């Protein structure tokens, strides 16, 4: 899980990319990076561990010159979070000079690494699959080099070859020195990427002309590509559209847009977890409003709760803040039960200092949440969360509710049981650590310590997300074990689990 953004402006883009990264901060807080390019092709790159706010100082920003750039926030999916060398963007200087950022996860990394080393003599300095991706792209662009200049057709040919060689999920943005910005999305569109534009002169209106037909129009427009639509909304860009699965977009330095479908049989199968948990509620992704989809998850969850639990005994419905709030509100509304926010989220998180001679304090949900006794005392409460993964947090929350005086605790998850690993870019534990792995719902309830436990049905989640949309399929692999890309074998899953646990 990462957040990416790229911009082609007619003035400096450093501050706007920084602002966009703040808006995408929820997608990754382990490291961050910005790269910009001047019109003479000079790149400026600044990366840092941790969050955006702490990562860039004035002196960093002042070096980030240029009217074209990209940025990244990283949530480590593989490797150790503290590994600064895996911070994106990654840079290769041949051919042309390319910097690239990437959201997703490649699943045939071992084959690709071998090819690069033995065939291309390219050195990979990390185990990051982003470094792999920029080198694959570089090696394909190298083989396209013909005449004196790089043209869009060559770029699209290289992306086509990337799609052939690479398997997994990827939404990527790259700068090619001296030429422009390239963005592309994998042939299943698993990870999101959306394109926006605005008139360079803010007094001019963008008008109705923006759409697929905008291809080839030039001058006077600024462009943005980002993981989520709220970046566009916040910075005054108009949405053009989500990139299609397999599509590539190439915007030259002068602001001319080129697009091309680079996959033979693209098929949109977006990741369902974006709607469940990852995306900001104010984003619209593949035409589906995230907030609305969460409300619908609540509507459907309410029915399932009513089916399986004695709802007449419930006094109050409460969300686990923040992401389950829309679902919880709809559950309360539909079931006609009082809605209260009995948990308060501590916004200001600090550190536990290691003092000489003192034992290390256990990390606890209590540092993140406070339960108001006045709301729990003597009540039968129904707690709504967006999903249950390991179950450790849920167990602590249920205990907090009891400590605060709850008489009974019913727990409901707006997502179905998570029983399979997620290999498309969300950091999840190995199967053994999933509380729903090899357990029935009553066994899970016992494990969590709640009186009743209700999960969303798989079909209901799918329907809640897709309702009213043109999208017809979803990646729900962690719920149903169906992996849309070819290479996810039992052997691969074992390997992923091994490398993540190290």
Scanning residues 290 to 329, which ones bind its own copies (CB under 8 A)? Answer: 291-292, 325-326, 329
Alpha helices in 264-403 (DSSP H): 273, 290-308, 325-335, 373-376, 392-403
Other Cβ atoms within 10 Å of 430 Cβ, number: 15
Stretch that binds its own copies, among 89-97, 161-169, 188-196, 248-256 (CB under 8 A): 89-97
DSSP codes, 393-449: HHHHHHHHHHHTT-SEEEEEESS----S---SS-----GGG-TTTT--HHHHHHHHT
Stretch that binds its own copies, among 152-160, 250-258, 264-272, 372-380 (CB under 8 A): 372-380
CB nearer to its own copies: give 211 or 351: 351
Is 323 assigned a ligand-binding role in the annotation?
yes
Q: Is 233 in the site for its own copies (CB under 8 A)?
A: yes
d(CA 36, CA 72): 12
Q: Is 469 in the site for its own copies (CB under 8 A)?
A: no
Scanning residues 32 to 71, which ones bind its own copies (CB under 8 A)? Answer: 41-44, 51-53, 56, 58, 61-63
Is 282 assigned a ligand-binding role in the annotation?
no
Q: Is 375 in the site for its own copies (CB under 8 A)?
A: yes
Question: Residue 318 contacts by C-beta under 8 Å, 6 or more apart in sequence?
Answer: 328, 339, 340, 341, 342, 343, 375, 381, 382, 383, 384
Nearest to 449, CA basis, from 421, 408, 488, 478 = 408
Total binding residues for its own copies by CB under 8 A? 81
Binding residue (CB under 8 A) for its own copies from 124, 157, 206, 214: 124
- Side-chain-side CA neighbours of 226 within 13 Å: the count stands at 35
Scanning residues 190 to 229, which ones bind its own copies (CB under 8 A)? Answer: none
d(CA 471, CA 300): 19
Q: Is residue 2 among the annotated active site residues?
A: yes
Q: Is 405 in the site for its own copies (CB under 8 A)?
A: no
Q: Is 353 in the site for its own copies (CB under 8 A)?
A: yes
Q: Is 358 in the site for its own copies (CB under 8 A)?
A: yes
Residue 361 C-beta: closest distance to its own copies, Å:
7
Binding residue (CB under 8 A) for its own copies from 110, 307, 361, 482: 361
Stretch that binds its own copies, among 135-143, 304-312, 385-393, 443-451 (CB under 8 A): 135-143
CB nearer to its own copies: give 267 or 346: 346
Stretch that binds its own copies, among 85-93, 101-109, 206-214, 389-397 (CB under 8 A): 85-93
Q: Is 87 in the site for its own copies (CB under 8 A)?
A: no
Token output for 63: 């070096």
Q: Is 497 in the site for its own copies (CB under 8 A)?
A: no
Residue 97 C-beta: closest distance to its own copies, Å:
3
Is-contact 328 411, C-beta < 8 A?
no
Bridge partners (DSSP) of residue 45 are 35
Is-contact 227 233, C-beta < 8 A?
no
d(CA 253, CA 129): 27
Other Cβ atoms within 10 Å of 292 Cβ, number: 18
Q: Is 234 in the site for its own copies (CB under 8 A)?
A: yes
Is 480 assigned a ligand-binding role in the annotation?
no
d(CA 251, CA 234): 22
For tokens 């550190």, the residue is 351
Q: Is 96 in the site for its own copies (CB under 8 A)?
A: yes
Scanning residues 103 to 122, which ones bind its own copies (CB under 8 A)? Answer: 118, 120-122
Binding residue (CB under 8 A) for its own copies from 110, 123, 307, 482: 123
Is-contact 462 293, C-beta < 8 A?
no
Is-contact 278 27, C-beta < 8 A?
yes
Scanning residues 235 to 274, which ones bind its own copies (CB under 8 A)? Answer: none
Nearest to 29, CA basis, from 59, 73, 63 = 73
Stretch that binds its own copies, among 124-132, 204-212, 268-276, 483-491 (CB under 8 A): 124-132
CB nearer to its own copies: give 29 or 430: 29
CB nearer to its own copies: give 20 or 474: 20
Q: Is 377 in the site for its own copies (CB under 8 A)?
A: no
Q: Could you list the active site residues?
A: 2
Binding residues for Mg(2+): 323, 385-386
């Amino acid at each position: 899980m990462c957040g990416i953004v790229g911009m082609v402006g007619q003035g400096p883009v450093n501050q706007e990319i920084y602002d966009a990264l703040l808006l995408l901060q929820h997608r990754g807080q382990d490291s961050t990076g910005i790269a910009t390019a001047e019109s003479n092709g000079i790149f400026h790159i600044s990366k840092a561990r941790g969050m955006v706010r702490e990562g860039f100082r004035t002196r960093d920003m002042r070096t980030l010159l240029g009217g074209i750039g990209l940025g990244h926030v990283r949530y480590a999916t593989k490797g150790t979070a503290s590994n600064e060398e895996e911070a994106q963007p990654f840079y290769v200087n041949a051919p042309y000079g390319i910097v690239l950022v990437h959201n997703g996860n490649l699943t045939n990394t071992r084959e690709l690494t071998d090819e690069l080393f033995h065939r291309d003599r390219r050195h990979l300095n990390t185990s990051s699959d982003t470094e792999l991706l920029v080198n694959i792209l570089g090696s394909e662009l190298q083989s396209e080099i013909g005449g004196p200049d790089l043209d869009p057709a060559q770029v699209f040919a290289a992306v086509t070859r990337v799609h052939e060689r690479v398997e997994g999920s990827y939404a990527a943005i790259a700068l090619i020195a001296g030429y422009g910005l390239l963005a592309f999305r994998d042939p299943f569109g698993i990870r999101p990427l959306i394109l926006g534009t605005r008139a360079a002169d803010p007094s001019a209106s963008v008008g109705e002309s923006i759409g697929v037909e905008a291809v080839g129009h030039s001058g006077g427009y600024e462009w943005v590509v980002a993981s989520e639509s709220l970046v566009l909304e916040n910075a005054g860009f108009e949405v053009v559209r989500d990139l299609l699965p397999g599509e590539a977009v190439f915007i030259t330095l002068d602001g001319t847009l080129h697009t091309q479908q680079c996959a033979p049989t693209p098929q949109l199968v977006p990741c369902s977890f974006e709607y469940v948990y990852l995306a900001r509620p104010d984003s619209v992704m593949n035409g589906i409003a995230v907030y609305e989809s969460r409300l619908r998850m609540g509507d459907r969850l309410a029915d399932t709760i009513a089916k399986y639990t004695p709802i007449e005994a419930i006094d109050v419905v409460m969300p686990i803040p923040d992401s389950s709030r829309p679902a919880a509100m709809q559950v309360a509304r539909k079931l006609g039960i009082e809605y209260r926010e009995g948990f308060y989220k501590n916004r200001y998180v600090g550190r536990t200092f290691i003092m000489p001679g003192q034992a290390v304090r256990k990390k606890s949900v209590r540092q993140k949440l406070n339960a108001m006794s006045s709301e729990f005392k003597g009540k039968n409460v129904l707690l709504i969360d967006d999903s249950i993964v390991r179950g450790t947090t849920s167990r602590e929350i249920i205990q907090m509710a009891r400590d605060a005086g709850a008489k009974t605790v019913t727990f409901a998850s707006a997502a179905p049981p998570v029983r399979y690993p997620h290999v498309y870019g969300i950091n999840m534990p190995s199967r053994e650590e999933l509380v729903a792995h090899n357990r029935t719902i009553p066994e899970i309830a016992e494990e969590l310590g709640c009186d009743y436990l209700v999960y969303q049905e798989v079909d209901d989640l799918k329907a809640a997300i897709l309702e009213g949309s043109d999208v017809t399929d979803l990646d729900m692999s962690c719920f149903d074990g169906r992996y849309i890309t070819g290479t996810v074998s039992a052997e691969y899953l074992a390997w992923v689990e091994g490398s993540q646990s190290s």
